[in-house]
Structure 1
Amino acid sequence: MTQENTTLIVGAGFAGSVMARELAEAGRHVHLIDKRPHIGGNAYDEYDEHGILIHPYGPHIFHTNSERIYEYLSRFTEWLPYEHRVRGVLEGVSYPFPINRDTLNLLYGLDLDEAGAADFFERVREPRDPVITSEDVVLNSVGRDLYEKFFLNYTRKQWGLDPSELKAGVAARIPVRTNSDDRYFTDTYQVMPLHGYTKMFEAMLDHPNIFVEVSVDFAGVRKQNNYCHVIYTGPIDAYFDYCYGPLPYRSLRFEHEHLSDVKQLQETGTINYPNDHAYTRITEFKHLTGQEHAGTSIVREYPQAEGDPYYPVPRAENEALFKRYESLAKLEKNATFVGRLAQYRYYNMDQVVGAALATAKQLIG
């Protein structure tokens, strides 16, 4: 395999791995690199020293309405059905989240049916027109009190910004329900890879046309500059040496803990703490994986400004800066940019797979 007829793919997460598989099956030779010492990107999972399957980079829960994407990934894994549930803790009391009828009844001592819950939201909402910010979205939907109890401080912790400073799409991702459905997602397919994400990635990259190298930085490889094409899934501003300045990202610090004498710590996979603590949430992995174990392993998430880029910060000025980098990217004849960091977009996992499949189809022709 010579570099002249090889495609270099930078990043072995969902975007890079799906692209690698698609190009390999089309007869292309692929050199896939990642600066981390493993494949799988942020979805990488591993067994901790106590034998519990954990997600080092925070919980990754697969959900999609796309049969095509579900069937595509099913080539590389069996599935474990899993419906994620979340609770939000206010003053020591646990409430269903996203907000539903049961949340209202428990919080306010009411006995609302679905129609009553709808009437309640209509009565307390603060109509906003136009809806521009995340604050607008929530106030327009559930009003001031629920906004301040569940959203305001959580958003400040998560983003380091007030909801009024963030685009509407951030809050629009979180539904409000008049029924008692306490699932976090309502997608048709809600599953977890039966043997973990890493095993799924290993199967995806198991192809004679794919050569994988980890602990390899793109900066050193790009100087060779004799690949027939580069597919880049890393931060787009880094690719262009931050020539217009760095794009803002929000990062996370993860605090993992094992509790050897606790079989189950939480009633649900994730508990949110909108108003207490420096962390935003605690996730208990055995809920997600269905694993049986005498102990349990959890992770606390602490949002921060510095560190690995996790979330593009959705503000108009950041989008404008990204568009400048995107204009440069379009001038790169032998490079393709795909993925959350390369497209400065908050993708769910299934959306990354969809974007990678579409991009691969264009490249293969």
Structure 2
Amino acid sequence: MKYDALIVGAGFAGTVCAERLASAGKRVLVIDKRNHIGGNAFDCYDENGVLIHPYGPHIFHTSGKRIFEYLSNFTDWRLYEHRVLAHLDGEFYPIPINRTTINKLYGLDLNEEGVKAYLESVREARNDIATSEDVVLSSVGSDLCDKFFRGYTQKQWGLDLADLSAGVAARIPTRSNDDDRYFTDTYQFMPARGYTAMFEKMLGHPNIEVRLSEDFRVLRSVVEREHTVYTGPIDAFFDYRFGKLPYRSLSFQHEHLTDVDQFQQTGTINYPNDHEYTRITEFKHLTGQQHSGTSIVREYPRAEGDPYYPIPRSENEALFKRYHELAEATPDVTFVGRLAQYRYYNMDQVVGAALKVAEELAQ
């Protein structure tokens, strides 16, 4: 059978492209090397009946009305505003840093203006904001940097703040009020029945065929199609012609606690300075599920393994641009998604990029 489009990867990027193209009358084949759809956003019930995210927590948030309305065609939503605490010397502090964090940490009683003045007094001015260290020091100074950011960054990326591009630290704001939400986007929800149920509905179009546990390297010369949408690592597509692009990986330690209704105060707790893991997430906070026990996951950053995070450094960007030039010279393939575009995208950014790509292809 000949397809209008072969889509490699059944995560957000591939699924959105598949649904939009199918709805435009195109015949689409979606393949994925894993045995499930949803990519890293895949969720499922563990053996104890708790809905978990096997690949770590995925919290949906966006200020893009179009993105939210599009996904609303395939799921109902549960209101959820994610909150994170950082564990420091036996105490827990809101992160991003806010008024509560500073007052509790330093034994102060500052109002909002007082917090602004305090931060102004400890900031270390930087003429040129080139690295994540520049971002953090110019925002909160060295003490808060060392307590909350430097150790976490070293674990997460295997690099010091000074060795990471500015955009990494710029993702985390600093607040002078008591707002303890991790995100401030307009739309903060979780799919009411989970991500996988949403993906199933998106891929349920009669013009879409899904094949799992399939290797693109095997099928690329077999499947007859007009166009390919590729969402995997761009360097792998070109057989690592210029060498491998660096990615950071993760391993996950899942645990179920019997007869424990709640393990921790918030959905996620960060551990910037102790333990090998960076954070613990308790899924019932995210899903709202009622269950007599609870399931948690500890995240351990790794240098090797499945690619999760493109590592934002200037030399890596230069290498990516060489692959991007090859992609631009491959007109019958469209590259979209975090790995294909070597970008540290949030889920909503991937959806937005995929919607744009699908509209162009549909025309």
Superposition TM-score tier, normalisation by shorter sequence: over 0.9
Residue equivalent to 1:356 = 354
Where 2:140 maps in the other structure, the secondary structure is helix
Residue equivalent to 1:52 = 50
Which of 200, 210, 213 is equivalent to 2:211? 213
Partner deviation per Cα, 1:201-248 (whole Å, 9 max, x = no partner): 000011110000111010110122532111100000000000000000
Residue equivalent to 2:274 = 276
Counterparts of 2:141 and 2:321, CA distance in 1: 34
Residue equivalent to 1:321 = 319
Where 1:302 maps in the other structure, the secondary structure is strand
Q: For 1:110-259, list aligned pairs within 5 A.
A: 110-224=108-222, 226-259=224-257
Residue equivalent to 1:66 = 64
Counterparts of 1:225 and 1:253, CA distance in 2: 33
Once the two structures are TM-superposed, the CA of residue 87 in structure 1 deviates from its matched residue by 0.2
Partner deviation per Cα, 1:75-110 (whole Å, 9 max, x = no partner): 000000000000001011000111000000000000
Counterparts of 1:208 and 1:296, CA distance in 2: 38
Counterparts of 1:75 and 1:232, CA distance in 2: 24
Counterparts of 2:223 and 2:211, CA distance in 1: 17
Once the two structures are TM-superposed, the CA of residue 6 in structure 1 deviates from its matched residue by 2.8
Counterparts of 2:286 and 2:101, CA distance in 1: 23
Partner deviation per Cα, 1:253-307 (whole Å, 9 max, x = no partner): 0000000021101000000000000000000000000000010000000000000
Where 1:152 maps in the other structure, the secondary structure is helix
Q: TM-score, normalised by structure 2?
A: 0.99
Residue equivalent to 2:17 = 19
Residue equivalent to 2:310 = 312
Counterpart AA for 1:144: S
Q: TM-score, normalised by structure 1?
A: 0.99
Counterparts of 2:14 and 2:110, CA distance in 1: 48
Q: For structure 1, which segment, 111-120 or 225-234, has the greater mean C-alpha deviation from structure 2 after superposition?
A: 225-234
Counterparts of 1:30 and 1:336, CA distance in 2: 14
Once the two structures are TM-superposed, the CA of residue 321 in structure 1 deviates from its matched residue by 0.2
Residue equivalent to 2:33 = 35
Where 1:228 maps in the other structure, the secondary structure is strand
CA RMSD of aligned residues (A): 0.6
Once the two structures are TM-superposed, the CA of residue 198 in structure 1 deviates from its matched residue by 0.0
Once the two structures are TM-superposed, the CA of residue 129 in structure 1 deviates from its matched residue by 1.3
Runs of at least 5 residues in structure 1 that lack an aligned partner in the other structure: none
Q: For 1:328-343, list aligned pairs within 5 A.
A: 328-343=326-341
Q: Structure 1 runs of 4+ off > 6 angstroms?
A: none
Counterpart AA for 2:91: V
Counterpart AA for 2:237: Y
Counterparts of 1:68 and 1:334, CA distance in 2: 28
Which of 300, 303, 328 is equivalent to 1:302? 300
Once the two structures are TM-superposed, the CA of residue 184 in structure 1 deviates from its matched residue by 0.2
Q: Could you tell me the percent identity over the aligned residues?
A: 68
Where 1:227 maps in the other structure, the secondary structure is strand
